[in-house]
Amino acid sequence: ALLEKTAEESAELRRQLEAQCKRNLEMERLLQAAPQQSSTGQAPGTPLGASNKKNEDAFGDDDDFDIEAARLTGGTAGFHPLEGALKSTQIAQLTGPYAIAAATLIDKLSVALDRRPFIRAVIVVYFLIFHLGMILF
């Protein structure tokens, strides 16, 4: 039974590998067939005015604040994950597994909210209306 299961898994992995190899060959063929980049620096097929992921900041003054890259690299520029700060502290209560898990969750939520400004605005408006309602009524 174990041998049959292993053989089935091996066959499935082999099929997945072959499918991925076919996709890779197709992508390489498409890349070779694509025209060279134009003198404007735009990627092939990119309409004028469109930006790539690297230059998506419309204002240009926050070039060192990339929260996604900061989350992946551990917070080298602008955004410093709470998880890393807690791991490096000397206070024993803050280095426990529950504190680290909570810090990781807070970091993930902050990244998620930064990537979705509409949701962030909705939450701010909700809290603003809620607190004003509590104060005034």
Nearest to 86 by CA among 104, 71, 70: 104
Give residue-wise pLDDT tens across range 118-129. 988 999 999 999
CB 111 within 8 A of CB 67: yes
Residue % of the chain over a pLDDT of 70: 66
Is the model's pTM score more than 0.85? Answer: no
Give residue-wise pLDDT tens across range 79-133. 678 888 888 888 888 888 899 899 889 888 888 887 888 988 999 999 999 999 9
CB-based burial label for 49 (10 Å; 0-12, 13-18, 19+): exposed
CA 15 → CA 19, 26, 27, distances in Å?
A: 6, 17, 18
